Structure 1
Amino acid sequence: MQNIDYDMKVKLIHGFSNKTRIQILESIKEKEKTVTQIVEELKGNQSNISQHLACLKGCGIIVGRNEGKYIYYSLRNQHIRDLLTMFDVVLEDVENDVARCDRHID
């Protein structure tokens, strides 16, 4: 049996546990984008979006590619894309329960 590092698992899941980070991930799910493009799409604050991008990159969920003066952000790989899709599938199945859950801790 494989030894599970729960702390590492929690750190990874934390990368997905913020509304803005999820919006960013959905924004770049199909196509890489610059910070400016993401900010415009989300109608967000550039500084805030950049902080969330740094978190996602630090967690290994996204990667950045330099081209000239721009950095293009994309999902790290197909596994991350699949995981985002799986979140949607699971949520569809348990949405009513999640909506009623009063034990969520921020």
Structure 2
Amino acid sequence: MIKTDVDLMVKFLRGFSDKTRIQILESIKDQEKTVSEIVEDLNGKQSNISQHLACLKGCGLIVGRQDGKFIKYSLRNQQVRDLLTMFHTVFEEVQTDIACCENHIE
């Protein structure tokens, strides 16, 4: 991979690197939702959720569909859904190692 490709890959992966963004992706994994529905699911603030939705949309992970006066958000495609499922699968296998890792402490 050339440097530009690596930089874009890192930018893409940032879409998954925030707790709220992961929660949003999980919230819309199985059905499209409006901002208000996502805010309710996450018990969050609309302005914060909207900022994260913009990031996810900018990373190409989600799409918005106009439905009357509302925009309904969903995952971009089945591949994004599959990627989330794969994250869960890999996480189950490595979660003990992650819990013990001292290199990436918050």
**How far apart are 1:105 and its partner, in Å?**
6.1
Calculate the aligned-residue CA RMSD, in Å. Answer: 1.3
Partner of 1:81: 81
AA paired with 1:29? K
In 1, the alpha carbon distance for the partners of 2:2 and 2:50 equals 34
Mapped partners of 2:38, 2:69: distance in 1? 16
Paired with 1:25 and 1:53, the residues of 2 have a C-alpha distance of: 9
* Cα distance between partner residues in 2 of 1:11 and 1:105: 21
DSSP 3-state at the match of 1:86: helix
SS at match of 1:63: strand
Q: CA deviation at 1:104?
A: 1.0
Normalising to structure 1: TM-score of the pair? 0.95
1:60, distance to aligned residue in structure 2 (A): 0.4
Runs ≥4 residues deviating over 3 A: none
Q: 3-state DSSP class of the match of 2:17?
A: coil
Q: Provide the rounded CA distance (Å) in 2 between the counterparts of 1:105 and 1:79.
A: 30
Q: Percent identity?
A: 67
**CA distance in structure 2 between the aligned counterparts of 1:55 and 1:102, rounded to whole angstroms:** 28
| Structure 2 residue runs without a partner (length 5+) | none
Q: Distance in 2 between matches of 1:97 and 1:60?
A: 30
**Post-superposition offset of 1:3:** 4.9
Name structure 1 gaps, 5 residues minimum. none
Alignment of 1:86-97 (within 5 A): 86-97=86-97
